[in-house]
Amino acid sequence: MIRLDLRSKAFGAARVLGPMALDVAPGEVLGVSGPSGAGKSTLLRILAGIDARFDGELDSGQRRAMVFQSPTLMPWRCVQDNVTIPTGATEADARAMLSRVGLTGMEQMWPAQLSLGQARRVGIARAFVGRPEVLILDEPFASLDAERIEDLLELTATLIDEFRPAVVLASHSEQELAALSTRRVRLEGRPARLIAA
């Protein structure tokens, strides 16, 4: 569950996010759209608990995971270590989750040996291995071709159905938002407000 009551978020004198309230239940996927620079990533960092410098209250689960626009893997660690080290998951759990995302046999490979689609799958395995209560997805499928996006959308939808985290997805892609969201909002204006979409 995610509950945010945000009065304001500013960078110095620049007020980016205005007053807004947000509730996301387990198993729900809130799709967030809005123009570039509206504040989607800023809002998602607050929801993920990465940015605590805002005026307001955040109430969310203990187990939080985030998938970013870039896969952000540690280049000097193998695929399996990239799942176990940041999460504290066991090797067995990491192998099982890597198998769920289609990477069986690639556990000992280096990130540089992976395609972008495979690297994104590692990011998804890393996010789900800890059975998150809250999952924040910030443009998680950017720069992939249409067929790979379809595959990853299907995989992500299956894992969300199974683990039922409260999910917030920010994307510019109507295809991604339509495929995963159970509810939609737009961020608009400066400071940005949430508008039902």
User: Is there binding between residue 37 and ligand ATP (CB under 6 A)?
Assistant: yes
DSSP characters over the chain: -EEEEEEEEEETTEEEE-SEEEEE-TT-EEEEE--TTSSHHHHHHHHTTS---SEEEEEE-S-EEEE-SS----TTS-HHHHHHHHHT--HHHHHHHHHHTT-TT-TT--GGGS-HHHHHHHHHHHHHTT--SEEEEESTTTT--HHHHHHHHHHHHHHHHHH--EEEEE-S-HHHHHHH-SEEEEEETTTBEEEE-
Q: Hey, which residues between 80 and 119 contact ligand ATP (CB under 6 A)? A: none
Q: How far is the CB of 97 from ligand ATP (least distance, A)?
A: 28
Q: Would you say 26 or 189 has its CB closer to ligand ATP?
A: 189
User: Is there binding between residue 27 and ligand ATP (CB under 6 A)?
Assistant: no
Question: How many chain residues interact with ligand ATP (CB under 6 A)?
Answer: 10
Q: Would you say 54 or 163 has its CB closer to ligand ATP?
A: 54
Q: Hey, which residues between 39 and 78 contact ligand ATP (CB under 6 A)? A: 39-42
User: Is there binding between residue 16 and ligand ATP (CB under 6 A)?
Assistant: yes
Q: How far is the CB of 64 from ligand ATP (least distance, A)?
A: 18
Chain residues binding ligand ATP by CB under 6 A are 11, 16, 34, 36-42
